[in-house]
Chains A and B, each alone.
Chain A
Amino acid sequence: MAPELIWLIFFLPLASFVVISFVFKPFLKDKPRISGYSTIAAISGSLVLSVLVLLSVIAAPEHELLMPDINWVIVDGVVIHLGLMVDSLTAVMLLVITVVSLMVQVYSQGYMHGDPGYHRYFAWMSLFTASMLGLVLADNLILTFVFWELVGLCSYLLIGFWFHRKSAADAAKKAFIVTRLGDFGFLVAILALYASTGTFDIAELHRLAITGALAGTTLAWAAIGIFAGAAGKSAQFPLHVWLPDAMEGPTPVSALIHAATMVAAGVFLVARMFPLFENSPEALTTVAVVGGVTAIFAASMGLVMNDIKRVIAYSTISQLGYMMLGLGTGGVAIGIFHLFNHAFFKALLFLGAGSVNHATGTFDMRQMGGLRRAMPWTYATFVIGALSLAGIWPLSGFWSKDEILASSLAAQPALFYLALATVLMTAFYIFRAAFMTFGGEYRGGNGQPHATHPHESSPVMVAPMVVLSVLAVVSGMANVTGGFARLLGHGEGHGFIEGFFGILAHPLPWLSLALAGLGIFLAYAIYGAKWLSAERIGRMFSPLYTMLYQKYWLDELYENVIVRKILLKGIFAGLERLDNKGVDGVVNGVASGTIAAGRGIRRAQTGQLQLYGLVIGIGILAIVLSLYLAR
């Protein structure tokens, strides 16, 4: 495939961003729909090209297309290329991003209808999609970092889309600052890698890591630095605190950025640099442990949230932890397979939450209920997404989750048990959300008149959910024959029917299915049939419930202890004193010293002309004499 066509994948959404920002927004202010259409058209183009890329990558030897480089920056012998890296990983990511983005843009037509920021919304969505596509296409770390920051910027802008709400503006800042902590590690790792190898090129770094030219502590620390960046972006413990707050953004934004693509960028980055991790056992173990801990940790908080988006947000963190666990114990194919499946069903769940919000005007599940009759399409698609997330055979989540469980059992049994416990929690919290939202009787929404009789969302919102629910069912089939794993690495192939039913011959899938079923049953017992009272259980485990509901007090720890006490009152106050007394003292000292000196010396300026003449005369005499004597 021609490199120009592949560049076009990135440039089409970028062009849409430019056109919306500089043409539509200033000149066609009263025709907002055109922005949505241009975004959809651009992303559709990218989607078609991405499918072509995937097909040619599948056909290519070694599943990699070779692309020419352009010299981008040349400074003192440091050459930074501008190039594309198109291998199977890129192709899969391109497909995920364009499909989910397209669905979300179509959905946004309905969700954002009538919003005064309609142009702005689609401009940023286009920019985000372009940056995300650029990120997966980049062939060197500098370019990767540029796009990495661009998606972070778009995330900031879109979380704070309704910036007039203080909570949204704060959440945007929090997301930006917390991810920046991880990005610092990433940047340090890039520089450390350059210092020890002299290259930013990803393929070259792969080669060095595989041949062993890059090894030991340098490699381990560089890999851990990269993982720090990935952990910030992918909201891994302990940098996960920003993602739940990011739910302040419009729901389609959450679906695209904070479920399917940008938060998965961390997983992608680890996968992209995987040879570095593979050759550094410490780094690989770090990835697996952080992933496993995050998975259960986030899932436990998801159990008690009352905001439907927050439940799904904690679920996202937990599933990202799964992906990291898969990468850390099983390799690229397993982690990315879960990313691939998760993107569809999680985007679907978010869009479902948005649809429910559209009808009821609230995200609080305690005010919902009974929506299965009013919103049959949303209900059906949400349940499909929930089943897929819970890992029910044969939906997509089952296939990838099963592989992660198997690989963690083989590599790190302790993490396997964490992951297994997470299966139970996942099934419970997502069906708790489903029963609270769609089961029982309607509890009145936000109390506004339009929420008293909730109705199904418009077809423009339902259609993307239907498409995504189909994908949530079938995307797991990509690896039933082992095809996905072969594309991204190694794996033995087998027939479709054999793979489809054969997996049920093993005990492990039955164990995870049983746990998922138990979770769903518990959710039904408490929130569906109400055999057990949720309040009574909450009281019974009151300290535990409070701890989970308060999110382990991590937000308080970060904000009150670390930021306010240690940083603000300790370090920053000290620095302020140093600045006021020390730095300002030096500056003021120089100034007052100069003034004092001037006050003394100006006495020489008597205004007596003849004194000046005398001094000049003596001076000349002195010069002449000295020249004479020196001769």
Chain B
Amino acid sequence: MPVGLNHYLVLSAILFSIGLYGALSKRNAVVILMSIEIMLNAVNIAMVAFSRFIVPALLTGQVFAIFIMVVAAAEVTIGLAIIIAVYRGRETIDVTNINLMKW
């Protein structure tokens, strides 16, 4: 059975759902960050798959995927830095306890 577009999209959807679940349900901020990375990579897979199967002559999807990776790397850097700063201040990275920004 040849691997087609649908297979990639299903994989992408599964990864995205795992990431979304992780991001919404985990308490540990680092894990949430990792989950977000998973969601971004799911998007990358979908992008590259679309590019490969629909407009193979253009590399638009791949270019986009590289941009997303760069952005993701930057985001992780800042995210981890924030988490470390929060940990230094509050001795925890449990997001349910980080709730200063409420009424």
- A residues neighboring B (CB under 8 Å): 602-603, 605-610, 613-614, 617
The residue of chain B having its C-beta at the shortest distance from the C-beta of A601 within the complex is B103
CB contacts (< 8 Å) of A613 on chain B: these are 23-24
Which of A605, A606, A607, A617 interacts with B24 by CB under 8 Å? A617
Check if A617 sits within 8 Å of B20, measured CB to CB.
yes
Check if B99 sits within 8 Å of A610, measured CB to CB.
no
Measured between alpha carbons, how far is A606 from B101 in the docked complex, in Å? 8
CB contacts (< 8 Å) of B24 on chain A: these are 610, 613-614, 617
The residue of chain A having its C-beta at the shortest distance from the C-beta of B20 within the complex is A617
Going nearest first, the 8 A-B pairs with the smallest beta carbon separation are A607-B102, A607-B99, A602-B103, A605-B103, A607-B101, A610-B24, A613-B24, A614-B24
CB contacts (< 8 Å) of A617 on chain B: these are 20, 24
Check if A606 sits within 8 Å of B99, measured CB to CB.
yes
Known: A609-B95, A610-B95. A603 touches B103 (CB 8 A): yes
Measured between alpha carbons, how far is A613 from B22 in the docked complex, in Å? 11
Question: Using an 8 Å CB-CB cutoff, how does the interface string of B3-23 with A read, 1 for contact, 0 for none?
Answer: 000000000000000001001
Check if B99 sits within 8 Å of A608, measured CB to CB.
yes
- B residues neighboring A (CB under 8 Å): 20, 23-25, 32, 95-96, 98-103
A-B interface contact total, Cβ < 8 Å = 31
CB contacts (< 8 Å) of B102 on chain A: these are 605-608
CB contacts (< 8 Å) of A614 on chain B: these are 24
The residue of chain A having its C-beta at the shortest distance from the C-beta of B102 within the complex is A607
A-B contact pairs, 13 of them (CB 8 A): A603-B103, A606-B99, A606-B102, A607-B98, A607-B99, A608-B99, A608-B102, A610-B23, A610-B24, A610-B96, A613-B23, A613-B24, A614-B24
CB contacts (< 8 Å) of A610 on chain B: these are 23-25, 32, 95-96
Measured between alpha carbons, how far is A607 from B95 in the docked complex, in Å? 9
**B98 shortest CB reach to chain A, Å:** 8
Measured between alpha carbons, how far is A117 from B98 in the docked complex, in Å? 74
**A605 shortest CB reach to chain B, Å:** 5
**B36 shortest CB reach to chain A, Å:** 10
Measured between alpha carbons, how far is A617 from B102 in the docked complex, in Å? 20
The residue of chain A having its C-beta at the shortest distance from the C-beta of B26 within the complex is A610
CB contacts (< 8 Å) of B99 on chain A: these are 606-608
CB contacts (< 8 Å) of B32 on chain A: these are 610
**B59 shortest CB reach to chain A, Å:** 28
The residue of chain B having its C-beta at the shortest distance from the C-beta of A598 within the complex is B103
CB contacts (< 8 Å) of A607 on chain B: these are 98-103
Measured between alpha carbons, how far is A325 from B32 in the docked complex, in Å? 99
Measured between alpha carbons, how far is A602 from B20 in the docked complex, in Å? 26
Knowing that A607-B98, A609-B95, A609-B98 touch, tell me 5 more A-B residue pairs with CB under 8 angstroms: A603-B103, A607-B100, A607-B103, A608-B99, A614-B24
The residue of chain B having its C-beta at the shortest distance from the C-beta of A603 within the complex is B103
Measured between alpha carbons, how far is A614 from B95 in the docked complex, in Å? 14
CB contacts (< 8 Å) of A602 on chain B: these are 103
CB contacts (< 8 Å) of B20 on chain A: these are 617
Measured between alpha carbons, how far is A605 from B98 in the docked complex, in Å? 13
Measured between alpha carbons, how far is A606 from B24 in the docked complex, in Å? 15
CB contacts (< 8 Å) of B96 on chain A: these are 608, 610
Measured between alpha carbons, how far is A603 from B103 in the docked complex, in Å? 7
**B2 shortest CB reach to chain A, Å:** 29
Measured between alpha carbons, how far is A610 from B97 in the docked complex, in Å? 12
**A623 shortest CB reach to chain B, Å:** 16
The residue of chain B having its C-beta at the shortest distance from the C-beta of A613 within the complex is B24
Which residue, of A606, A607, A614, A617, has the highest number of chain B Cβ atoms within 10 A?
A: A607
**A612 shortest CB reach to chain B, Å:** 10
**B46 shortest CB reach to chain A, Å:** 15
**B15 shortest CB reach to chain A, Å:** 16
Which residue, of B98, B99, B103, has the highest number of chain A Cβ atoms within 10 A?
A: B103
CB contacts (< 8 Å) of B98 on chain A: these are 607, 609
Which residue, of A602, A603, A608, has the highest number of chain B Cβ atoms within 10 A?
A: A608
**B8 shortest CB reach to chain A, Å:** 20
The residue of chain A having its C-beta at the shortest distance from the C-beta of B95 within the complex is A609
CB contacts (< 8 Å) of B23 on chain A: these are 610, 613
